[in-house]
């Protein structure tokens, strides 16, 4: 099996102030680090510059929460992947279920955003996940498989693409699937990637779990064979919790 660096990614969503960002980053900067574990913070776009400056001397990486498919132009309010690269980002989250729901983003939109991310030289964290109704109807693997197939672009490699499995019903709810359920979906994602991209790329690509990951369940989730990290919302807003999750990895 390929060695995969564990990625512990904090998705701050629309939560921050200058004061909060300083306090949170100050806390994260005290984390001594752990071999084989990469820490990433994804603040709201107005805070990317200041947060980037605060972590520039550290190993903590910077990421954004979305991008526009185009490199520039008449798209009021949007941000290009090239701008994110210019600000020092390494990653862009694309296709988060909240973007899919709030902004009607489709797999085709997410695909275009992931391509833009690659064009700018950054890594895309492509989010997929079923709703509770879809799980109850036994459609989880079909839904997630289709989202991965249609959202991940052909140019994906182990270096430029991460897939995050986030069951919609587990996000921000305190509910998580069982370990068996998580591993089943991750294994299915990896086998779909293998069919399309071949063994080397698929076995090197990181698959994150997201949805109510916290210090008390992180060790169990991160120990699963095909879980290579976490995409963490609520618990990424407290330095103590986020570093505890990073410590639980590996």
Number of residues that bind ligand PGA (CB under 6 A): 13
97, 166 in Cβ contact below 8 A? yes
Give least dist CB 1 to ligand PGA, A: 26
Strand partners, 229: 7
In the stretch 78-107, what mask flags binding to ligand PGA with x, by CB under 6 A?
------------------------------
Quote the least distance from Cβ 138 to ligand PGA, whole Å.
Answer: 23
d(CA 19, CA 114): 31
- Under 8 Å between Cβ of 44 and 93: no
Asked whether position 11 contacts ligand PGA by CB under 6 A, the answer is yes
Min CB(199)–ligand PGA separation in Å: 29
Pick the catalytic residue: 68, 96, 118, 186? 96
What's the rounded Cα separation, in Å, for the pair 155 and 84? Answer: 20
Q: Is 52 in the site for ligand PGA (CB under 6 A)?
A: no
In the chain, the N- to C-terminal Cα span, in Å, equals 15
Distance CA 31, CA 151 (A): 34
Element (H, E) at 182: helix 179-197
Max Cα distance, the chain (Å): 48
Q: Is 213 in the site for ligand PGA (CB under 6 A)?
A: yes
What tokens does 11 get? 């998705």
Burial class (CB in 10 A: 0-12, 13-18, 19+), 57: exposed
Query: Annotated catalytic, 96?
Result: yes
Residue with smaller CB distance to ligand PGA, 128 or 197: 128
Q: 229: helix, coil or strand?
A: strand
Q: Which is nearer to ligand PGA, 37 or 231 (CB)?
A: 231
* Contact characters 109-148, ligand PGA, x per CB under 6 A: ----------------------------------------
Binder of ligand PGA out of 28, 110, 227, 231 (CB under 6 A): 231
Give the residue numbers marked as catalytic. Answer: 96, 166
Contacts to ligand PGA by CB under 6 A: 11, 166, 171-172, 210-213, 231-235
């Amino acid at each position: 099996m390929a060695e995969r660096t564990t990625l512990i990614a904090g998705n701050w969503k629309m939560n921050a102030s200058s004061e909060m960002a300083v306090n949170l980053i100050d806390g994260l900067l005290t984390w001594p680090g752990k071999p084989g574990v990469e820490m990433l913070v994804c603040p709201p776009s107005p805070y990317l510059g200041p947060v980037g400056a605060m972590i520039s001397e550290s190993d903590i990486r910077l990421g954004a929460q979305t991008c526009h498919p185009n490199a520039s132009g008449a798209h009021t309010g949007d941000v290009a992947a090239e701008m994110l690269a210019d600000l020092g980002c390494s990653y862009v989250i694309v296709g988060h279920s909240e973007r899919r729901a709030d902004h009607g983003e489709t797999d085709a939109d997410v695909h275009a955003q992931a391509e833009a991310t690659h064009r700018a030289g950054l890594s895309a964290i492509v989010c997929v996940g079923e709703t509770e109704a879809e799980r109850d109807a036994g459609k989880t693997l079909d839904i997630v498989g289709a989202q991965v197939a249609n959202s991940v672009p052909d140019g994906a490699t182990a270096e430029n693409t991460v897939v995050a499995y986030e069951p919609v019903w587990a996000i921000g709810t305190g509910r998580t699937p069982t370990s068996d359920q998580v591993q089943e979906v991750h294994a299915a994602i990896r086998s779909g990637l293998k069919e399309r991209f071949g063994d080397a790329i698929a076995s090197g690509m990181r698959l994150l779990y997201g949805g109510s990951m916290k210090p008390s369940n992180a060790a169990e989730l991160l120990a699963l064979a095909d879980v290579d990290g976490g995409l963490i919302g609520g618990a990424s807003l407290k330095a103590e919790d986020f570093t505890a999750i990073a410590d639980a990895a590996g």
